[in-house]
Every structure is written in structure tokens, then in C-alpha cells.
Amino acid sequence: MKLHYEVDGDNFLVAGEASASLKRTLKQLGIDSSIIRKISISMYEAEMNMVIHAYGGVIDVEISTDKVSIILKDQGPGIPDINLAMQEGYSTATHEIRELGFGAGMGLPNMKRYSDHLNVHSEVGVGTTVEITVYLT
Amino acid sequence: MNRLIVKELIEKMNLTLVAGEEGLENQIEGGYVGDLLSFVMAHAREKNVWITIQGHINSVAVASLLGLSAIILSENAGADEEMIKKANEEGIPVLSTSLNSFDVICEFARYNNA
């Protein structure tokens, strides 16, 4: 099964909708709730990063019998130093964003922790692609 | 064991129901306290009550994704219009109290039998 989502940039009112929609689909498919939790956490973090840092983007999800693959693509500013961005507590979010409870510097670390595979490709000035894989078995 | 439900917690703790009436029968199993969404995302568990001051729409998104039973806004932290609308849509009870988060936990611990 393939799903496609368009994520609005800078629109906090609909932020998280793609993750919520995928969660509903996975629930309908009868996927184990502990696996849905892993997928929800990692995808929500990635979706929010797109909204906060990258003016939105597109998400493609493929659900197969053994895994869920999520590819998030944006045309944002890119990440100059991915290793630094992977460090817990490192954030470039603005003060306003932090006041909403974002910008704890846990987005990428949470994606890594709750997915089975995480790939981040980024080019400054071009954009970022995040690939999240969670196995179903 | 009889689990506590949201409606009972409201009565016992004298909380104000702000939104999400549909979820009043939600069962409660423990709680989580925090205002940083990534920490809540990573550590709160299904059916937890979440105590926070984040009264905006993204809190409802987090609660919904995790299957939390209710959000308690401490210190009279206001819920904005979008949060109320979303909570009603999703059936996530948003409860309000003048107590601070520490005092909410102290009281909640008396009733939570998880």
C-alpha cells in the first residue's frame, strides 16, 4: 500500500495531520500498537521538523508485509552538520517555537531511537530527505 | 481492578472540562508530566493523563498520536481556540485547574491505581 501526503510549511494548525492519518490507517490494518507507537513517534518528529525548519514538503509511505518505509522530502535550508543535529539537545529552533514546547533538540534522536533504520541526506540550500524504516515483525 | 476514568478524575480533583467531552469515559493508567513535546512523545504511554501548560493544538496532536486519556492544563494555562476545536474533534478531554503541575501530581497519585 502506498500513501502520499503534502505537508504545509509554517502551518502549525495542521501540523501532525499526516502522522495522525497514517496512524489511523495502520490501526485499521491491525498492526500491533507497540509498532504503531514507534512509527507515530518517528514520523511525527520528522513531520514537525519539516514544518518548523523547512517550509513543509512531501511524505511518501509504503506499507508492505514486513515493514513500513517513510520518505520525507523537503526543499528547506538543509542541515550543515548532521552529526551535530543528531546530538540530543542540539536545536536551531527559534524562541517562539520553543515556547510551544518544540525545539528540545530531541527530534532526530527520537527518530533514530524509535525507528529500525534512519537515513538523513541533506544538502545546504537544496533540502533534506529523511528515510525512516520500521519493521513489522 | 476498576480503572479510573476521566469523568471520575474530574469529580475527584474538581477539574474544569474545557473540551473533548466525548472522551469522558476514557480509562486512565498513570500519567506523564512535561512541557517539551519531544519528551512527551518519547516517554508518555497510552492511557496516561498528561499534565502540561501547553494549551495549543499541537498538544492535542501529541495526545491523539499516543492515545493519551486526557490533558490536564495546570496553573490555569489557557487552551486556545484551535486546541479546543481539535480536542472536540478528536475526543481528547482537556481539563483545567489552578493547581501547579506538582500539586496536580500529588492529588492525582491519590486516585490513580495503575
Domains of chain A in start order, with CATH, are 2-135 (3.30.565.10)
Q: How far apart are CA B19 and CA A20, in angstroms?
A: 19
- For residue B94, give how far its alpha carbon lies from the nearest alpha carbon of chain A (Å): 17
- pLDDT of B92 > 60? The answer is yes
Q: Would the CB atoms of A100 and B54 count as touching at under 8 Å?
A: yes
Q: Is A122 helix (H, G, I), strand (E, B) or coil?
A: strand
Backbone angles phi, psi at A79, to 5 degrees: -110, 115
The pTM is what? Answer: 0.92
Number of domains comprising chain B: 1
Q: Which residue has the cell 515556547?
A: A99
Residue with the three cell numbers 542540539: A90
* Residue among A100, A105, A110 whose CB faces B58 most closely: A100
Chain A interface, mutation test: which of B32, B39, B41, most A Cβ atoms within 10 Å?
Answer: B41
User: Which tens digits make up the pLDDT trace of B28-73?
Assistant: 999 999 999 999 999 999 999 999 999 999 999 999 999 999 999 9
pLDDT band at A125 (very low <50, low <70, confident <90, very high): very high
Structure ipTM: 0.86
Q: Is B18 on the interface with A (CB under 8 A)?
A: no
Other CB atoms closer than 10 Å to residue A1's CB: what's the count? 9
How many Å apart are CA A2 and CA A17, to the nearest integer?
A: 17
pLDDT at residue B3 in the model: 84
Mutual angle of helices B81-90 and B57-66, in 10-degree steps: 20
Asked if B78 reaches chain A (Cβ–Cβ under 8 Å), the answer is no
Domain that holds residue B34: 4-111
Structure-derived torsion over alpha carbons of residues B43, B93, B18, B3, reported in degrees to the nearest 10: -100
In chain B, which residue's Cα lies nearest the Cα of A115? B42
Please indicate whether, in this complex, the C-beta atoms of B42 and A106 are within 8 angstroms of each other: yes
Give yes or no for B80 touching A (CB within 8 A): no
CATH of the domain at B78: 3.40.1390.20
